[in-house]
Amino acid sequence: MKQPLLHINKPQPPLIIEKLYSRVFWRIPQEQKTVYLTFDDGPVPIYTPWVLDLLDTYKVPATFFCVGENAQTYPDIFSEIQKRGHAIGSHTYNHLNGWKTANALYFENVCKAAQVVESKLFRPPYGKITLKQARVLSEKLTIIMWDVLSKDYDQTIDGETCFDNIKNYVSNGSIIVFHDSPKAFKNLEYALPKTIEWLQNEGYKCAKLHVD
């Protein structure tokens, strides 16, 4: 199976990747300065509720790309995301890597997760999806990537670096990635409140993603 050119693991994806993957959304500029906070890999106990409470404190909406299996395992937390007014997207059923998964299995897994969370928004785990997978899935789903990666999951960096990753790359329409997961929490706990406060001070509106 052919793979894309490189792994999108930098704070901002290379322009050539954005051009190759024209069937996905990397940013959504608006007339008013707007950004989209997104969270991957939940819902899970402790960490997703912490994020929800923090978002309530600052009165900002977000979009949660949920692993289908987690949504079924923790239905109360999944429901709480929706009750608090946030948007939902899918993140495959078992957090599959599209580069390492046969197309038929990947399509089945993605569609299963989309049915579980009842959303047409989809983000591929790790940002790893082949051009063919993107082409096929974009006919049914809205594929959301990002243009600002906090890298909160990276154990070799600290929360201040995650915050800097956002400050240095954010612009109108930016889709920002955080993770509501145990692995990311040390950095998330530091970077998320600072990010929200900085965005608000800079005149950005936080919005949730939606499908027209």
- What percent of the chain is predicted at pLDDT more than 90? 87
Name the more confident of 22 and 31. 31
Tell me the C-alpha distance between 165 and 111, whole Å: 32
Answer yes or no: are the C-beta atoms of 38 and 209 closer than 8 Å.
yes
- DSSP symbols for 121-155: EE--GGG---HHHHHHHTTTSEEB--SEE--TT-T
- What digits encode the pLDDT tens for the residues 103-154? 999 999 999 999 999 999 999 999 999 999 999 999 999 999 999 999 999 9
Confidence of residue 6 (pLDDT cuts 50, 70, 90): very low
Q: Please confirm, yes or no, whether 180 is among the known catalytic residues.
A: no
> What's residue 2's pLDDT?
37
The one catalytic residue among 53, 179, 180, 212:
179
Beta-ladder partners of 37: 176
What's the one-letter identity of residue 174?
A: S
The one catalytic residue among 40, 41, 152, 180:
40
> What's residue 3's pLDDT?
37
The pair of structure tokens assigned to 15 is 């322009």
- What digits encode the pLDDT tens for the residues 66-83? 999 999 999 999 999 999
> What's residue 210's pLDDT?
86
Domain 15-206 has CATH 3.30.70.3270: no
The pair of structure tokens assigned to 139 is 């006919």
